[in-house]
Amino acid sequence: MMVSNFILGVLCIVSFFVLLWQWFEAARYPLHSHLKETPYAPSVTLFKPLKGCEARTIECLTSWIEQDYAGSIQILFGVADPTDPVIPPLRDLLVKFPQKEINIIFCSEQKGHNKKVSSLVQMAPKATGDVWVVSDADILAPRNLLKNLVQPLRDSSVGAVNCLYRIAGPNNFGTTLEKIAVNADFWSQVIQSLRLGKQDFCLGAVICVNAEVFRKTGGFEPIADLLADDYHIGNRIHKSGNNIALSTLVVDSIVPKAKLANVWKHQLRWARTIRFERPHSYGLSIISNTTLWALLWIIAGTWEARYLVCLCVLLTRLIAVRDLMSRIEQSPGKWHKGWQAWAKDLFQFALWIGAFAGNCVVWRGIKFRVHKGGVLEPIK
């Protein structure tokens, strides 16, 4: 009893200090800051692999077409299915912006088990830009993103640039848990990780690469059967001896209203993706779950003063969530119901267990078995 009380107490205090460190690093990061001068304007090719058309898909695509950028922009929309509902509104965009270099590429061949990368492989031969930008269909970009994003590539040691993202969409219980996970925890954990060493991965919302450097890593073909394409794009560039820069600008990831079951499936795929790529660090990530350790110490501990300590820890967690979300959302912090932030942490614990409880993921309606190294195998 005394040993378990001591261990739980130590884990609670350690997780509390990890939270404070994460909060401190995020608070000092110059989030949303814009560069005063953006003289570098290389030719850019924007890759947009598409599937389906959600309520705000065209708004997101238009935000990239209307970028305030001095250099030339080639936009490639990749569609695997010629009957995809996104095609008619894409054709309308071609009519609306006749002065823009926009191409619709039909990616009907299967070039790997990762369908997104399969489309990218088929789009790449058409790319003419010195800089390639890969972005998901649901990403809404500020008008000055591109001219800020390419500036670090002026340094020949930088091979890629990526940026943080925030969840934007309707509020219900499922999407609120996802918002807390991303808009409070994920971005601040990324900033925290930069204090431990150089970034050796990319975030999938927006990836900007020096095209020549990326081609030397093998391009898209070597990652066509891998689950975490964004991770491997960055990791291969890092291993080639080039640095990865993180922009201070933030994009919106537009998510539809989702039931808790759908959020669970999405988050579980994400959790297993990280577990397959970074098993040791993901395993240790449970230490940072402040709510979990505080509640376990309350339930199983024996030291009477633990109630006061744990109350302070749990309240600090709420304040941190409020502040971190207000920073990335650029809005006054909302006092989410306490149980939502705490429920997210317990939900995260269930996901952590689930990540180690299997090696299968469901992606775009297809079930895959994931092997060592993140290699995908479809389950028939």
Q: Is the pLDDT of residue 4 over 90?
A: no
* Annotated domain spans of the chain: 2-28+275-378, 44-259
For the chain, give the mean pLDDT: 94
d(CA 221, CA 229): 11
d(CA 237, CA 217): 7
Q: At a CB cut-off of 8 Å and minimum separation 6, what does 229 contact?
A: 114, 116, 117, 120, 204, 223
pTM of the model: 0.94
- Residue among 345, 372, 367 at smallest CA distance from 228: 372
Residue 334 confidence (pLDDT): 66
Residue 169 confidence (pLDDT): 79
Contact of 60 with 89, CB cutoff 8 Å: no
- The position carrying tokens 């790449």 is 124
- Regarding the domain delimited by 44-259, which CATH topology (the fold level of the hierarchy) does it fall under? Spore Coat Polysaccharide Biosynthesis Protein SpsA; Chain A (3.90.550)
d(CA 149, CA 136): 16
Q: Is the pLDDT of residue 330 over 80?
A: yes
Least confident residue range of 294-298, 333-337, 348-352: 333-337
